[in-house]
Amino acid sequence: GAVVSQHPSRVICKSGTSVKIECRSLDFQATTMFWYRQFPKQSLMLMATSNEGSKATYEQGVEKDKFLINHASLTLSTLTVTSAHPEDSSFYICSARDPGQSDYEQYFGPGTRLTVT
């Protein structure tokens, strides 16, 4: 099956600094990747849809200048949380579609636990 990796798995940073999270499709080319955020005991919340070679589409209420998304290649998308604050502490998960396998299934990365102190 399709494999998606994320790095780092856990990160602790100080308030005001920036953090970059990488999402990679290991054995397929992902034209579309998705970034989610999940707070404890809550549902996954889609932050943005990332398309290779074009600007990401952000969901309502998500600040595009704060959450920078870059999808520079068919196997890599990055999410940079700029000027992080404690309220940005959350579980960030990426997913990707493998058009060669399925039109609908999303393959999830293992997630990144961000803690802002």
Partner 1 sequence: GQNIDQPTEMTATEGAIVQINCTYQTSGFNGLFWYQQHAGEAPTFLSYNVLDGLEEKGRFSSFLSRSKGYSYLLLKELQMKDSASYLCAAMDSNYQLIWGAGTKLIIKP
Q: Which residues bind partner 1 (CB under 8 A)?
A: 41-46, 49, 91, 93, 104-111, 113
- 87: nearest Cα among 51, 21, 33, 37: 37
CB 22 → partner 1: shortest distance, Å?
15
| HSE-CB of 79 using CA atoms within 13 angstroms | 33
Instruction: Report which of 64, 65, 66 is spatially closest to residue 49, judged by C-alpha positions.
Output: 64
Our CB check for partner 1 shows the closer of 43 and 54 to be: 43
Q: With respect to partner 1, which residue has the nearer C-beta, 93 or 116? A: 93
Choose between 3 and 82: whose C-beta lies nearer to partner 1. 3
Query: Which of 81, 96 has the CB closer to partner 1?
Result: 96
Cβ 16 to partner 1, closest distance in Å?
26
Give me the long-range contacts of 38-46 (CB less than 8 A, separation at least 24).
Answer: 38/90, 38/91, 38/92, 38/93, 38/111, 39/90, 39/91, 44/93
Joined together, the tokens standing for residue 104 give: 């609908």
